[in-house]
Chain A
Amino acid sequence: MSRSKTVGPKLFDRDGVAYVTLSLIALFCAIPFLWVILSSFDGNASLFLRWPSPWTLNNYIGIFVREGGARWFFNSFLVVGTATAIVLLFSGLGGYALSRMKVWWKRPFLYLIILIRVIPPPALIVPLYKILLTGNDAVGSLVRSLVSPESVRPVMQVFGLIDGYLGMILVFAAMQLPLALWIMKTYFDTIPHDYEEAALVDGANLFQRIRLVITPLALPGLAAAGLFAFISAWGDFLMPLILVSSSELQMLPLGLFRAFLRVQQIDYGFLSALAILYMLPAVIAFGFARRYFIQTFSGGVKA
């Protein structure tokens, strides 16, 4: 009540400490961005922080004119977008089923999902690569028996499991699915069964119930699941590194990484501009995802 009167000066001190501390943490977070932003507009960018001279947009234009930047964006959006769509479909249906079903293996299955979530992706790359290689050979011989020899390569770029869109999409979807499934399951747990029961009484079949009742109810949960799947897959570097080799399928993280490896002639302006454009979709998605963030940690636990 008399807070402002009695603790006035002291409160100011404590707020002062808060401002200083927060400013230091914020500086720590912000300073690394300075260089990448400035050098992306710098006509003579170098590895070091400096004021751009001359200011230019050529770095950004160069991504699309000189390099295959448009292709990298297209590939990233195609692969990550399709994988996210699959994650949404599968986790929506699966999460609903997990929330509503009463079978003996439900609890073991949920435990399994948590255990899958702790598997480090680097621990999976070796077996995953071998398995996809075997699968790729099978797809290859199937494709060769179906299409003319000259169109084998383009078809394999789409349906191949190694160095093909399909392989990337499936792997990305599988990596993002456990978290999405978990989010959807806990989300459906909070939705009362009444609506579905009503639809059931009205004689709606499963397909109608999903389309007309469950999907509209699930939208907020799907938004969270989809955003996290997108952000995580968009930023992933490991899977493209292992699964993609041909330049037509190059995705943004690899384009950036490989451009940096041209030791003799690293174009820092170009790299910075590419880095900025590459991180924009993730930053925007993250802005939307912020309020759902807590769901990635808590599963069953009220955090």
Chain B
Amino acid sequence: MATSPREKSWQLQLLLLPCVLLLGALVIYPALYSIYLSLTNASLVGVAATHPRFVGMRNYFRLFADAEFWNSLVITFWFVVGSAVIGQFVLGLTSAVLLRRPLRFKNLFNSIILLPNAVPEVVAGFIWISMLAGGEHSTLNRIFGVLGIPPVRWLEQLPLLMIVIANTWRGIASAMILMMAGLSSVPPEVLEAARIDGASPRQIFRFVTLPLIMPTIFLYMLVSTVTTISIFGFVYALTRGGPGNATEIVGVYIYNQSFTAFQLGYGAAVAVVTLLVSVAIGLVYVRALKVQV
């Protein structure tokens, strides 16, 4: 009755089949199909919707000459650097380091910092619309009013900075949790040894802790870069890319081109470029993880 190794291997591959089919049909095939679409003039409306024509590299030529596309790449770059690489990381690491101390209200602090991470994209956008509204009665302007700063129309005057700050708010928790795990993997004996050798807490952090959590930091940077490039709903709900296209990160740009301007072929070309950038980062990620098999 015993199952032979060969039969067992066959059975295992069968168990994986549903995953392969679903991912193949709705992730891998679309990703490859987007390459084909990007070489056509496919559209949501008109003749090109039913009978798209092959147009070769025309979408790509247009793309690289399109100032709006470069604008969205530059905005995405600053969005990622400002919120994921700097904002979330600095605040997350700070919180993680401080919460290792035996403080009172530690759990309260922890829970409050985690809360924004659980909020759905649209709700986060909605909340920040009120936070950043113009006029002297909006939440942020009131806080600054107490400090004697006149009201600012935040989303119109400093749009990019505002989506960076709002996105920092959403992601402190993920940085904090990962950094906590990294910090707790630092052996206490090493820290104790450094302390005995007379190192100051600052020196211990700089020369002992930081090098030891470097792999964790690297992992965080990769994952958060990729996830931040993927953001759509939150920024779309908050600004829809505006004013003008000052906050048109690449996800919003793809959506606007494809479903507002109805140019599916052109949108697909943008998608392919985005895909290539992400996969390049992904390849670094794969190498860094050194997948255990």
Interface size classification for chain A: 35 or more
Tell whether B245 is near chain A: CB-to-CB under 8 Å.
no
Contacts of B30 in A (CB 8 A): 124, 127-128, 131
Contacts of B115 in A (CB 8 A): 29-30, 33, 283
Alpha-carbon gap, A161 to B137, bound state (A): 45
Tell whether B188 is near chain A: CB-to-CB under 8 Å.
no
Tell whether A8 is near chain B: CB-to-CB under 8 Å.
no
**Chain A positions 107-129 with a Cβ under 8 Å from a chain B Cβ:** 107, 110-112, 114-129
As a 0/1 sequence over residues 65 to 93 of chain A, the CB contacts with chain B under 8 angstroms (1 = contact) are 00000000000000000000010011101
Tell whether A206 is near chain B: CB-to-CB under 8 Å.
yes
**Chain B positions 10-33 with a Cβ under 8 Å from a chain A Cβ:** 11-16, 18-20, 22-23, 25-31, 33
**Chain A positions 249-303 with a Cβ under 8 Å from a chain B Cβ:** 252-253, 256-257, 260, 268, 271, 275, 278-279, 282-283, 285-287, 290, 293-294, 297-303
Instruction: Tell me if B13 and A103 are in contact (CB < 8 A).
Output: yes
Alpha-carbon gap, A46 to B286, bound state (A): 49
Instruction: Tell me if B109 and A126 are in contact (CB < 8 A).
Output: no
Of A53-61, A144-152, A215-223, A230-238, the one touching chain B:
A230-238
As a 0/1 sequence over residues 90 to 129 of chain B, the CB contacts with chain A under 8 angstroms (1 = contact) are 0100110011010100001100111111111111001111
Instruction: Tell me if B178 and A300 are in contact (CB < 8 A).
Output: no
Instruction: Tell me if A125 and B255 are in contact (CB < 8 A).
Output: yes
Residue of A nearest to B278 (CB): A118
Tell whether A187 is near chain B: CB-to-CB under 8 Å.
no
Instruction: Tell me if A282 and B119 are in contact (CB < 8 A).
Output: yes
Instruction: Tell me if B113 and A174 are in contact (CB < 8 A).
Output: no
Contacts of A97 in B (CB 8 A): 12-16
As a 0/1 sequence over residues 12 to 49 of chain A, the CB contacts with chain B under 8 angstroms (1 = contact) are 00110011011101101111111110010000000111
Instruction: Tell me if B26 and A174 are in contact (CB < 8 A).
Output: yes
The interface size of chain B toward A, counting residues with CB under 8 Å, comes to 109
Instruction: Tell me if B120 and A126 are in contact (CB < 8 A).
Output: no
Scoring A22, A102, A301 by chain B CB atoms within 10 A of each residue's CB, the highest score goes to A22
Instruction: Tell me if B233 and A236 are in contact (CB < 8 A).
Output: yes
Instruction: Tell me if B139 and A107 are in contact (CB < 8 A).
Output: no
Contacts of B25 in A (CB 8 A): 131, 174
Alpha-carbon gap, A165 to B215, bound state (A): 42
**Chain B positions 180-212 with a Cβ under 8 Å from a chain A Cβ:** 181-182, 185, 201
Instruction: Tell me if B127 and A300 are in contact (CB < 8 A).
Output: no
Of B62-70, B156-164, B216-224, the one touching chain A:
B216-224
Instruction: Tell me if B278 and A114 are in contact (CB < 8 A).
Output: no
Kindly list the 9 A-B residue pairs having the minimum CB-CB distance in the complex, ordered from nearest: A237-B233, A286-B118, A122-B251, A118-B282, A235-B120, A174-B26, A94-B19, A120-B230, A48-B137
Where the two chains meet, the residues of B that have a C-beta atom closer than 8 Å to any C-beta of A are 1-3, 9, 11-16, 18-20, 22-23, 25-31, 33-34, 37, 42, 91, 94-95, 98-99, 101, 103, 108-109, 112-123, 126-131, 133, 135, 137-139, 142-143, 169, 172, 174, 177-178, 181-182, 185, 201, 215-216, 219-220, 223, 226, 229-230, 232-234, 236-237, 250-252, 254-255, 258-259, 264, 267-268, 271-272, 274-275, 278-279, 281-283, 285-286, 288-293
Q: What are 6 A-B pairs at a CB distance below 8 A?
A: A19-B103, A119-B31, A237-B233, A237-B237, A271-B126, A303-B216
Where the two chains meet, the residues of A that have a C-beta atom closer than 8 Å to any C-beta of B are 14-15, 18-19, 21-23, 25-26, 28-36, 39, 47-50, 86, 89-91, 93-94, 96-98, 100-103, 106-107, 110-112, 114-131, 170-171, 173-175, 177-178, 181, 189, 200-201, 203, 205-206, 231, 234-238, 241-242, 252-253, 256-257, 260, 268, 271, 275, 278-279, 282-283, 285-287, 290, 293-294, 297-303
